[in-house]
Amino acid sequence: MKFLKPSRLFKPFLAGVSLAAVAVYATHGMADTAGAPAQAASAASTSALVAAPASAASAASAPSAPSAKAALIARGQYLARAGDCIACHSAPGQPAFAGGLPIDSGHGVIYSTNITPDPQFGIGRYTPQQFADAVRRGKRADGTHLYPAMPYTSYVKVTDEDMQALYAYFMEGVTPVAKAAPTTSLSFPFNLRFGMGMWNWFFASNDPFKPVSSWTPQVTRGAYLVEGLGHCGSCHTPRGVAMNEKASYSGEEKFLSGGELNDWAVPSLRGLPRWSEQDIVDYLQTGRNPSAAVAGEMTEVVRHSTAYLQDDDLHAVAVYLKGLTPAPDRASDVKPQGAQETAAKLTQAVNLSLGERLYLDNCAACHFVDGKGAKRVFPSLDGATVINADNPYALIHVMLKGARTPSTDKAPSVLVMPGFDHRLSDSEVATLATFLRQGWTNRAAPVSEKEVAKVRERLQADADAHAKLQAQAETTAH
């Protein structure tokens, strides 16, 4: 890699390019045809969700039966969005809810099942009780246990009324697909589903949702969505040795205190001190807010689930999260360089360290010398959770592979961060990442070349495994 020698000309040029780029991004984003069909298919259905979740409940008992049924189904559809059922129960390029998505459990691949109302291959023969037992207790109609890759430990909080609406939607609002999903066959002892009975006995709670008496109705609604259908804790709560979530309700201080997902640091949602209520709503609705943009698995959560939630519900979630006591700030002996100092150094562009030079050459055009990016277009790198995480895996991943925001109703443009895996060596990524983690007000430990090499290897292995599974799925489909 060659460095541009920072010259006097370079800076104004850089600024000019940046502003032009911001304008283009802000108005058009980047054409994202790949994501378009799914978006279009689901866009039509959102408009049906006019009824507020709470008020739609009473429609079920209204005298005009057909419209009451339609309202119930529409509410079920909305709740299925809130529960993000589609994300796990649909494989790429396959019909919605037909299952077959491979989920790596750490002990082998678990395939999601066909939950369309097909009587043979789906859940068409499930009674309301059997459906509720599967969703809330992880028990299949034949009495065997589901693996907790299905988040029934959160869905246990779903009310009976909401279960009825979900049932109506899955039986009458979803198109049946007469196709078997691949069967899951884990190796011993994980193939023994009765083992999950023991696991449930130890770890799973059978407790319904319990609001705290001091909560306002809005906070209660937010807690209900987060603890239950939203299953936010399945990624945002730390897990114990048996992959059990260490806490499952708001009263416990470990709940939502941050976790790790295949090494990707999942931030704490407790209090979210740096964000306003509106910042949280924007992030969940559009995958971006004035200072941040979504990356990693959260992108899919926004795309398939939170982008569809009504404003009221998103505000409820935000107010609830802001009310949680923040996790204590972790002790860190890293001294940040200081926002002004870093920005000044990058602006003067003399005696730059290698990390600073790499930043100017590759990143500053979009993220700017102050590391603040551009409001709602390029996320701020100063203070970004992903940069300050103890585990640098997510940061290295984003630098190598890039990221793109989802296209949502409220923010259809896709913002693209390019990947640098072909342009930067392991040592350059490490040096640049270390600069990011200690520049401006950031404070996190340095990143080593070895760590970058490991992530690169891992990404390659994941890509290979993915290709293999894809090929397998194609051959079994014929």
CB of 63 vs ligand HEC, minimal distance in Å: 29
Distance between CA atoms of residues 344 and 341, nearest Å: 5
- Out of 14, 132, 324, 386, point to the residue binding ligand HEC (CB under 6 A): 386
The Cβ of residue 244 has, within 10 Å, a number of other Cβ atoms equal to: 16
| Residue from the set 98, 235, 411, 455 that interacts with ligand HEC by CB under 6 A | 235
Residue 442 contacts residue 436 (beta carbons within 8 Å): yes
Name residues contacting ligand HEC, limited to 425-464 (CB under 6 A): 432, 436
Question: Closer to ligand HEC at the Cβ: 51 or 151?
Answer: 151
Q: CA–CA distance from 410 to each of 120, 200, 307, 316 (Å)?
A: 39, 40, 8, 19
Task: Give the separation between CA 219 and CA 230, rounded to whole angstroms.
Answer: 15
Shortest distance, position 183 Cβ to ligand HEC, whole Å: 8
Residue 399's nearest CA partner among 441, 355, 350, 369 is 355
Measuring CA to CA, which residue among 250, 301, 238 is closest to residue 83? 301
Q: Looking at beta carbons only, is 62 or 362 nearer to ligand HEC?
A: 362
Residues 6+ apart with CB under 8 A from 9: none
Sign (positive or negative) of CA dihedral 436, 438, 442, 448: positive
143-182 residues in contact with ligand HEC (CB under 6 A) are 146-147, 149-151, 155, 166
Q: Is 74 in the site for ligand HEC (CB under 6 A)?
A: no
Q: How far is the CB of 459 from ligand HEC (least distance, A)?
A: 15
Per-residue string for binding with ligand HEC, 75-114, x by CB under 6 A? -----x--xxx-xxx-------------x------x-xx-
Torsion of CA 393, 397, 399, 404, to 10 degrees: -130
Which window, 59-67, 197-205, 358-366, 438-446, contacts ligand HEC (CB under 6 A)?
358-366
Among 115, 156, 163, 319, binds ligand HEC (CB under 6 A): 115
Is residue 22 involved in binding ligand HEC (CB under 6 A)? no
Residue 297 binds ligand HEC, judged by CB under 6 A? yes
Nearer Cβ to ligand HEC (66/226): 226
Q: Is the dihedral of CA 12, 16, 21, 22 positive or negative?
A: positive
Interactions with ligand HEC, residue window 299-318 (CB under 6 A): 301, 306, 317
Tell me the DSSP string of 394-441.
Answer: HHHHHHHH-EEPPP-SS---B-EE---TTTS-HHHHHHHHHHHHHSBT
Quick one: how far is CA 247 from the chain centroid? 19
Question: Which residue, 221, 278, 276, 274, is CA-closest to 250?
Answer: 221
Q: Which is nearer to ligand HEC, 67 or 129 (CB)?
A: 129
Q: Which of 81, 236, 270, 372 binds ligand HEC (CB under 6 A)?
A: 236
CB-nearer residue toward ligand HEC: 57 or 434: 434
Residue of 394, 396, 455, 473 interacting with ligand HEC (CB under 6 A): 394
| Binding piece for ligand HEC, criterion CB under 6 A, among 39-47, 60-68, 212-220, 289-297 | 289-297
- What span, in angstroms and rounded, lies between the C-alpha atoms of 153 and 97? 20
- Beta pairing partners, 260: 265
Query: How many amino acids of this chain bind ligand HEC (CB under 6 A)?
Result: 77
Closest to ligand HEC by CB, 73 or 394: 394
